[in-house]
Amino acid sequence: MNGVNPRPITALIADDVLASRELLRQMLGKLGVVVVAQVADGHQALARLATHAVDVVFLDIDMPGCNGLEVLKQMQSRQPMPWVVMVSAHSTMDNLQVAIDHGAKGFVVKPYAMAKIQQAIERFQQAAQ
């Protein structure tokens, strides 16, 4: 975010609500993160990730069909696993525990705030170094 990265960080957003995806994309854009794909459900997310690798995945939990935690579980068996940040309007302990157990690296609770997104990206950068 200081413009020192030779290659920008890439991200995928999986969220069924368009407004929510757009807001997150704008915030990430301000941080210099390039959102290479936006999808509206879990199946699309898995399909997309099978063909295109990204650095960070923002994965909404409460999606119809295949929810974010299911996606996370299926992603776990794929290598290399991207850096996954779970996103939810709720911060219930059960969801948190499942997320951690299946390798999520972050958990952001909506409503989005720039500080939360920035923290999530900074953690990825620190880990990537």
Single out the segment in contact with other proteins by CB under 8 A; choices: 7-15, 27-35, 40-48, 115-123.
Answer: 115-123
Which of these segments, 1-9, 11-19, 43-51, 108-116, binds other proteins (CB under 8 A)? 108-116
Task: Quickly count: other Cβ atoms within 10 Å of residue 98's Cβ.
Answer: 18
Pick the binder of other proteins from 120, 125, 128, 129 (CB under 8 A): 120
Residues 119 and 28: their CA atoms lie apart, in Å, by 11
Footprint (CB under 8 A) of other proteins, residues 83-102: 85-86, 91-93, 96, 99-100
Residue-by-residue DSSP string for 100-112: HHTT--EEEESSP
Question: How many other C-beta atoms can be found within 10 angstroms of the C-beta atom of residue 82?
Answer: 20
Residue 113 interacts with other proteins (CB under 8 A)?
yes
Q: Is 109 in the site for other proteins (CB under 8 A)?
A: yes
Across the beta sheet with 34-39, the strand order is: 34-39, 10-14, 56-60, 83-88, 106-109
The residues of the shown chain that bind other proteins, judged by CB under 8 A, are 85-86, 91-93, 96, 99-100, 104-109, 113, 115-116, 119-120, 122-123
